[in-house]
Amino acid sequence: MKRPHSHNSIRKKKQQQPTPKRRKLSYLANHLLIFEIDQSFSVKSKKKEYDCFICTLEYLKIIDPQTAETLRAFIEEENRGVTVHQMLNILKLKLKKADIKEELVTFESIQYIFDLLKPSTATIIGLLESSGDTGHIVLLAKDSYGRVGIIDPQASYMCMHQECEKYIQPYRQQPIIIFTSKH
């Protein structure tokens, strides 16, 4: 006689993501990593499939083109993008801040983040795909005229607030990753 078995023992349990935090504007105002941007700068190097974080750092001038190419060679060898843990280590090293951390916040927090940005500034966010295992790094930005939008340095793409709806639609049901620090 066959013994019934539990479905849980056969199927791999999907790893549970932590519940995203609903951060108040005051918290984000004091902790969100915000960078000045020069909107005339663009990434001119050859982009790879998984180099969105590298393109973002290069766009923000946190890394130079030579360092970007070294990192691209690394991810090409690994055939995957940079992990969140690696992103944190790179940011800590390049920004010389030991207290940088990543946090999951609700997708709706994007509006709060736009409100915090001053003209010609941006912040790095991670958009998670529905599987929760992969994502895409972009910048939420405010241009010199105070208009808000998304900059995707990997795709050399920028959309202003209303135009971004189609761009962000695949990520809308997931939390977003932000990077914070005690300034």
Q: What is the pLDDT of residues 17-75, one digit of tens each?
A: 566 666 555 666 678 888 998 765 555 656 777 899 999 999 999 999 899 989 888 88
* pLDDT of res. 178: 92
* pLDDT of res. 173: 87
Q: Tens digit of pLDDT for each residue in 141-167?
A: 998 888 889 999 888 888 887 788 888
Q: Largest Cα–Cα distance in the chain?
A: 74
Residue 14 reports pLDDT greater than 60 = no
Helix (H) or strand (E) holding 128: strand 121-128
* pLDDT of res. 121: 94
156, 51 contact by CB (below 8 A): no
175, 98 contact by CB (below 8 A): no
Taking the C-alpha atoms of residue 43 and residue 61, their distance in angstroms, rounded to an integer, is 10
| R_g (Cα) of the chain, nearest Å | 18
* pLDDT of res. 168: 87
List the domains of the chain with CATH numbers: 17-180 (3.90.70)
Q: Which position has the higher pLDDT, 171 or 6?
A: 171
The residues pairing with 157 across neighbouring beta strands, listed in sequence order, are 152
Residue 124 reports pLDDT greater than 80 = yes
pTM for the whole thing?
0.80
